[in-house]
Chains A and B, each alone.
Chain A
Amino acid sequence: MNHLLSIDDLTAADIREILRITPSFAEVAERRISKVPALRGQTVALLFYEDSTRTRLSFEVAAKRLSADTLNVSVSTSSVNKGESLRDTAETIEAMGIDAVVVRHRSSGVPMQLTKWVDAAVINAGDGWHQHPTQALLDCFTLEQQLGDLTGRNIVIVGDIRHSRVARSDVGAFTRLGAEVTLVAPPTLLPAAPDTWPVRIETNLDRALQRADAVCLLRMQRERQHEALVPDLREYATLYGLTAQRAAALGPDVPILHPGPMNRGVEIAADVPDLDQVLVVDQVRNGVAVRMAVLFLLLGSGAAGMPAPALVDDVETEDAR
């Protein structure tokens, strides 16, 4: 497999391997010269059909720390472009000799569709409601830094799960690593057929938080109240927001994640983000390292891409050819 499209394409061992090597990439950031030549001469296109400054920057920094050239392909998000031919864009990129395409699109499935038309490695940086695999990897890494092994840990994901690629990816990653996941949302914001997900479903946030080892908040989009999915945001904040009282009840040792950007006063009360246990900054920092690891695995670790490459045992044989 030469792409990273979905967390569901990875086995537990694959995820563990990525998390194992991530600290090596994090170390690069701490060097006096925080750049290594690993991907010198390779070009990574950042194809963002949807605005996401932080994800794009994270991938861009990751690529540059590995000495890859980056190419920002800004695609207008205006409605005029709705229904544009994906293949045209893909073939344009292919013609430029790109080694990897990092793609963000408002529609689910676009990264997978691109793989039909490009030879370059495709990395999903978020597609519709579907997947955002590097977010899940960085969430796992961030939680393991705090909690150690996630096996048996109860991770509570709160918010608009129905429309969340982060939730879909996190559930896949956390459960693969042996964690138990509880989803909390009003039924209108739960996904279809929730019984087919490997999770516990809870509609009462306070009950769910009682046994939480970690909490992942999701961004609540303001448009949802206009789609009759919730009566209004004030009621949502009361029932499903992480209020100061709820944060206090959790205690200081329960890490709180948020993929950003946060709606203060909606899914998280105004002052809660300033608590030490809110790891948004760690998530951003770890995001670069995880994305470096992914880029390196796809582009730098040998012909076979993502699979964990051979480790030459403690034996010095033909060194390098």
Chain B
Amino acid sequence: MSESTDLLVRGGTVVDSVGTSMRDVAVRNGVIVEPDALSEPHVVDATGCIVSTGLVDMHAHLGEPGDEAAETMRSAGHAAVLGGFTTVLAMPDTHPAVDSAAVVDHVRSIGSSALCHVEVAGAITLQRSGKHLAPLGELAAAGVRYVTDAGFGLQNPLLMRRALEYCRPLGLTVGQPADLRALSAHGHMHEGEWSSRLGLGGAPAEAEEIMVMRDVSLARLTGATLHFQTLSSAGSLAIVGAAARAGVEVSAEVAAHHLLLTDSDLVSYDTNRKVWPPLRSSADVAAAQTAVESGVIDAIVSDHTPHTTDRKERAFDEAEHGTVGLETALAVALTAGISVSSALRALSWRPAELLGLGDPTTRSLSAGATADIVVFDPDLAITSKASEMATLGTNSAYEGIELTGAVRATIVAGRLVVEEGKVVA
């Protein structure tokens, strides 16, 4: 399917940031056009499906460069478009870390081998060591809009303050995984009834909440743009909600798995469900679902973290953290009971806005907009199997779980890359 082929997405219900309507969507030369402008288009059947702007993942670990055994840009791109993502923000925890313009350029160039758009996040500190600031001005000049030490929250409050201060005039959003390591240090899962029963060291929700409190204060102090990554505890969400009401510029994301799975799902010591922050209690999961619906949570992310089997086929406390998630994020959100419009807001419209993608008016499927489009059946249930996924990572937290909501087609910049749930590009 070449880029110049005209496409007509027919028979679906268009849900975008403007509203909901039954209409066909036409694509020519990478942009959306009026349907009557086409002659003999390739028809994408969207009967019974939702048609919306392509999904945007603010948080994915793509493996390349440095961990090509677990994932490459190409395999991650396939996984992304199968999950309906047309844009993915690559985390900077690669080898080497993305802490210079040269690495930004390299990641961007290998990112072109992916079927989706790849945006590049920079590191806050050199080699993500949490010690010295990376050349943030150089990163900004290279087009980076978002910096994070990905996986390592900045522990030192003075360094965090400096990073926020320094990033503010550069227009950089600071992404922070909120985790007070000194308090969560011996934790392999959420501290509570289940860690107690399973005999695993627990990380209390308070380790996250204390960090959220601290960084809300620092955001207020510095006036910088702060984004909390993968919040997982009800207490954190309450603090962020209160901060937003008080006018502090903070945004927040939740990983899809924190909307569906709980600490009790670790009963069989499935290391593929060992994630960080850890799966929390059912009360925390309910709070996260509510926060997505209410808008306290801006974004749902995949926190896609591919691993080879050897890093997971270990004792639980020795296994690596993370689950793959690009292919399942939308389905997991819908299975968790998130409404279609809230899911799309958190998986497409709001993250695009936070990352400053395109112009704000293009988060709709109106004529003239870039043709990044997802078509999904919100009612189709599929039993998830890691072996059938496109990611090279073998670590899926959802093995054998029936997920409702399946991507049928994905169009990236006018190019049909997924059709009938399969990669066609």
Contact = CB atoms under 8 A, between A and B. Distances in A.
Contacts of A197: 196
Contacts of B191: 192-193
Contacts of B310: 85
B313 A87 contact: yes
Interface string B197-241: 111101000000000000000000000000000000000000000
B314 A112 contact: no
Nearest to A117: B313
A87 B317 CA distance: 15
A112 B197 CA distance: 14
Contact of B318 (A107, A112, A165): A107
A113 B318 contact: no
Contacts of B315: 86, 105-110, 113, 128
Contact of A112 (B195, B200, B268): B268
Interface residues of A, number: 27
B311 to A, nearest CB: 8
Contacts of B152: none
A192 B269 contact: no
Interface string B28-70: 0000000000000000000000000000000000000000000
A260 to B, nearest CB: 20
B166 interface: no
B421 interface: no
A134 interface: no
A108 B199 CA distance: 6
Interface residues of B, number: 22
Contacts of B314: 83-86
Contacts, number: 72
A105 to B, nearest CB: 6
Nearest to B204: A192
B192 interface: yes
A108 B196 contact: no
Interface string A96-112: 00000000011111101
Contacts of A110: 269, 315-316
B196 A107 contact: no
B200 A129 contact: yes
B379 interface: no
A112 B268 CA distance: 7
A192 B199 contact: no
B3 interface: no
B193 A196 contact: yes
B200 A193 contact: no
Contacts of A219: none
Interface string A10-26: 00000000000000000
B196 A191 contact: yes
B199 A127 contact: yes
A252 interface: no
Nearest to B310: A85
A129 B314 CA distance: 17
Nearest to A129: B199
Contact of A113 (B193, B195, B269, B311): B269
Most buried by A among B191, B200, B311: B200
B316 A109 contact: yes
Interface in A161-192: 165, 168, 191-192
A128 B195 CA distance: 12
B269 A112 contact: yes
Most buried by A among B191, B271, B315, B318: B315
A108 B318 contact: no
Contacts of A86: 313-315
Interface string B167-199: 000000000000000000000000111011111
Interface in B136-185: none
Nearest to B268: A112
A83 B318 contact: yes
Contacts of A207: none
Nearest to B315: A107
Nearest to A49: B315
A112 B318 CA distance: 15
Contacts of B192: 192-193
Interface in B296-312: 309-311
A127 to B, nearest CB: 7
Interface of B: 191-193, 195-200, 202, 268-269, 271, 309-311, 313-318
16 contacts: A107-B316, A107-B317, A109-B316, A110-B315, A113-B269, A113-B315, A127-B199, A128-B199, A129-B200, A130-B198, A130-B200, A192-B192, A192-B193, A193-B192, A196-B193, A196-B196
Given A108-B315, A128-B317, A193-B193, 13 more contacts: A87-B309, A108-B269, A108-B316, A109-B199, A110-B315, A110-B316, A113-B269, A129-B200, A130-B199, A130-B200, A131-B199, A192-B196, A197-B196
